[in-house]
Amino acid sequence: MNKYEIKVVLLSGLLLSSFLFALLYNAFSRKIDTPACIPYNAAFEKGHVRQLDDSTCEVYVSAHMWGFDPAEIVIPVGTTVEFYLTSTDVVHGFNIDGKGVNLMAVPGGVNRITVPFNSIGTYRIVCHEFCGIGHQNMMGKIIVKDKIYQQ
């Protein structure tokens, strides 16, 4: 191996470890779950929020041209949300701003991801997969409120 080859090998090693670091950083420090595919069931096509206990809820998100059902999700701060995502027509994207969540909503398939919401605020959901003329307007939001203001 000449000097040049050694440099290339070292550089690719460095790149590889930085990718690995980014992956592990997301998985552990930011407590982001890896998405899982789960068996499909038509019940997932009906978007809804279900409170499981004081700090956990399940949200079934159904994507369609050109919106999400539910379009607005309101939860108290400190809630961990299990998202179950599907689509009723074509493939859509599901990206939550500031949360590092990036999933596909696939018709006939369900993707699950667990996301903790520990700061008050509004998190925008956008479709990042081109899905027709209404694509650029396809969005939703998650409103994380202080516990005191919840009824």
> Which residues lie near ligand CUA (CB under 6 A)?
66, 92-93, 127, 129-131, 135, 138
The nearest distance, CB 71 to ligand CUA, in angstroms, is 13
- Closest to ligand CUA by CB, 84 vs 92, is 92
The nearest distance, CB 115 to ligand CUA, in angstroms, is 20
Q: What is the rounded CA–CA span in Å between residue 76 and residue 7?
A: 52
The nearest distance, CB 68 to ligand CUA, in angstroms, is 9
The nearest distance, CB 130 to ligand CUA, in angstroms, is 6
Show the CA angle centred on residue 94, arms to residues 66 and 23, nearest 5°. 165
Q: Return phi, psi of residue 46, to 5°.
A: -100, 105
- Closest to ligand CUA by CB, 92 vs 103, is 92
The nearest distance, CB 108 to ligand CUA, in angstroms, is 16
Q: What is the rounded CA–CA span in Å between residue 124 and residue 133?
A: 20
111: CB partners within 8 A, 6+ apart: 35, 36, 37, 38, 83, 84, 85, 86, 94, 103, 104, 105
132: CB partners within 8 A, 6+ apart: 65, 66, 90
- Closest to ligand CUA by CB, 59 vs 125, is 125
- Closest to ligand CUA by CB, 129 vs 142, is 129
Structure-token pair, residue 76: 């108290």
- Closest to ligand CUA by CB, 66 vs 120, is 66
Q: What is the rounded CA–CA span in Å between residue 46 and residue 124?
A: 21
